[in-house]
Structure 1
Amino acid sequence: MASEADRSKERPDEVAELVGKLVSQDGSPAETDGAERRRLLGRLSKALVVSARKAGASGVGRGRWLADVFMSIAPRLPIRDLVTLQEHHYGLTGEQLADDLVRTAVKATTAVGAVGGALAAAEFAAPPLLLSAPAQLVAETLVVAAIEVKLLAELHEAYGIQVQGSGGQRAAQFAVAWSKQRGVDPLSPASVTLALGAAAKASLRNRLMRTLGRHLTTLGPFLTGAVAGGALNRAATKRLSQAVRADLRRQRALPPAPEV
């Protein structure tokens, strides 16, 4: 019978499939229950170990492998159009729809951070398994990045900002916009070219490595990792949403959102 690692080798798309399941289930993030989320993160961690071994130490250490893995995931993220978003969010439009998208994404990254931090904490409490903890945090990093890129893309839909290009080109633009914590400017004729350039790839790699570094701070005993992981992700996703929404409002010449 084939081992988990063997199955990962036979299925090169397993990482993207697992991230997709963690990002969206039945059209909405964060609907996976805690036990299933832990199981999927565990499977993703094992698949990433296999992928990292193939990439070699140099590529993994400099973050090139992480960026390549994420760019293979991005085109497969389930980005919903405006009509579908309204169906899934009770007919909301405009700022109310954007608010609901942010709430859902924050809930999702908080839940993933809590699970990822708890898994890392469990490994921290068992020294012989400590070396496997980074794979779990890499898995968390990819899932959180995917949730946030999906949020960023769907905020463009909510604000009526249409980003042109093929599926892969749009995914690249959204991924690079995420790395810069801003919206895509669809009026920029060079946006697609820039998103596929070396500078954009470096920006994406740096953002992923910073996100991974944030998750490494959740390594700690018992439940401290879970609490820290959830709190850090919640704050980061809120910051991203505020920056992107401000950018999209400027593009549409909308007034700033009222203070809550």
Structure 2
Amino acid sequence: MTGSTPPWKRRFSRREADQGPSDGPYSANDDERGPTDTGTASLESVVDRGDLPATAQAPAPAARRRAAAFRHKAGQGVRNGGRRARAALAHLADRIIDLAPRVPVRDLAKLRGQFPGLGPEELADRLVAGAAKGTATVGAGVGAAAMMPVPPAMPTELAAEITGVAAIELKMIAELHEVYGVRPPGGLAQRSTAYLNSWSDERGVDVSKPSSLGSAMNSHMKRQLRQQIMKRMVRDLPNLMPFMVGAAVGAVMNRRDTRKLAARIRADLRKQQVPWSALGELPALDGPQDALDMGALTKELGGAEESGRRPGRDGGR
């Protein structure tokens, strides 16, 4: 209607206003302000209060519970697997430590008698070639045994290969030290520890440093040995490829790794090489009482290349 006042602009007359009692800064009614109790509120936790209704906690969804259970099982499996791997590495390291003193080593006089007319470098080349051929045979044999891989047998096959390769390379390292005139001092146990430390560090023994000539394997040496074993296991995994592929891969990789190890050790030994003329008559090496038969060891681990069977599995048939 023309001239009428819109509802939102209409003013109530004071007669229609609330005439109830009011107080406070904004003249609000008591009913509008709420209770005016001046008491203090309790600061205690409401979790354990019995006078309040309990809050119902909604259960977690089934998918979330299954995910949490899966994460717990997966983490537990990883921890258990890590413990088993460390235990296996420690066992294999102890096995190689026990094996090292049993490796037969030819002294310089025997080597010069078997290879007459050769100088130090030519004789060292012969030793490296023989060791590379032996480790290649072991790698090919284990690779042939894994023609149809059986997962439970793989760790055993890797452990057998690493043990055989370690024995061959330890013999090579010890005889290279004889050729270059750098025989570590001490008896059989001290020399075996020095050669084992050389194998794990992939360095020649420095006879001028007493720290490299420990009489027993300490914690640092064992840690280095476990790391070397783990590195070898990772490098040897392709040897387990099926259909005879692992045999060729194992032979090539083991030959290459042995030659690379020999090159590093020979580079260190050349820096402290003693000429044969300055050595004089060296005492003969005291051999181990229960020496390993290196030929039988190489044949046992490498024989699977021809038969296509796992070493020792069908030996009694």
TM-score between both structures, scaled by the size of structure 1: 0.70
Which residue of structure 2 lines up, in the alignment, with residue 26 of structure 1? none
Distance 1:180 1:58, change over 3 A: closer
Higher normalized helix content (fraction of residues): 1
Alpha-carbon contact 1:195-1:201 (below 8 Å) kept: no
Q: Give yes or no for the alignment of 1:207 onto 2:218.
A: no
1:131 corresponding residue in structure 2: 152
Query: Which residue among 155, 164, 172 is the counterpart of 2:193?
Result: 172
Range with greater deviation from structure 2 (132-141 or 109-118): 132-141
TM-score, structure 2 length as denominator?
0.58
The offset of 1:209, in angstroms, is 1.6
Tell me if 1:224 matches 2:249.
no
Decide which of 54, 60, 85 is 2:87's aligned counterpart: 60
CA distance in 2, matches of 1:253, 1:164: 14
Matches within 5 A, 1:13-52: none
Who is 2:177 aligned against?
156
1:166 aligned partner, one-letter code: G
Contact 2:184 2:213 in 1 (8 A): no
Q: 1:248 Cα shift?
A: 0.4
SS in 2 for 1:216: helix
Q: Any conservation in 1 of the 2:189–2:215 contact (CA below 8 Å)?
A: no
* Aligned 8 A contact 1:94 1:159 in 2: yes
Q: Deviations over 1:146-200 (max 9, x none)?
A: 1111111110001111211121111111011111111001111232238622111
Q: How many angstroms apart in 2 are the aligned matches of 1:89 and 1:202?
A: 38
Does structure 2 retain, via aligned residues, the 8 Å contact 1:145–1:208?
no
Larger Rg: 2
Conserved 8 A contact 2:181-2:274: no
> 2:267 aligned with 1:246, yes or no?
yes
**Counterpart contact for 1:137–1:215, Cα < 8 Å:** yes
1:132 Cα deviation after fit = 1.4
The residue that corresponds to 1:84 in the other structure is 110
Do 2:143 and 2:248's aligned partners in 1 also have CA atoms closer than 8 Å? yes
Percent identity of equivalent pairs? 41
Q: What number of residue pairs does the alignment pair up? A: 193
The question of 1:233 aligning with 2:274 is answered: no
Structure 2 CA distance, aligned partners of 1:91 and 1:146? Answer: 28
Aligned to 1:110: 136
Residues 173 and 195, structure 1, Cα contact 8 Å, conserved in 2: no
Aligned equivalents of 1:203, 1:135: Cα separation in 2: 22
| CA deviation vs aligned residue, 1:118-164 (integer Å, no higher than 9, x gap) | 11223x1xxxx431132122101111011111111110001111211
| CA distance, structure 2, for counterparts of residue 72 and residue 88 of structure 1 | 29
- Where does residue 184 of structure 1 map in the other structure? 205
* Distance in 2, Cα, partners of 1:236 & 1:223: 20
Cα deviation, residue 91, structure 1: 4.5
Cα distance in 2 for residues equivalent to 1:248 and 1:86: 18
Task: Measure the CA separation in 2 of the matches of 1:88 and 1:139.
Answer: 30
User: RMSD over aligned Cα, in angstroms?
Assistant: 1.9
Distance in 2 (alpha carbons) for counterparts of 1:221 and 1:236: 22
Specify the SS of the correspondent of 1:218.
helix
Partners in 2 of 1:90 and 1:120 — Cα distance? 41
Unmatched 5+ residue regions in structure 1?
A: 1-55, 255-260
* AA at the equivalent of 2:137: A
| Moved segments of 4+, more than 2 Å | 56-61, 87-93, 189-196
Unaligned 5+ runs, structure 2: 1-82, 276-317
| SS of aligned partner of 2:104 | coil
Please give the alpha-carbon distance, in whole angstroms, between the structure 1 residues aligned to 2:151 and 2:271: 47
Decide which of 99, 104, 124 is 1:73's aligned counterpart.
99
Q: Distance in 2 between matches of 1:195 and 1:152?
A: 18
Distance 1:79 1:141 in 2: 19
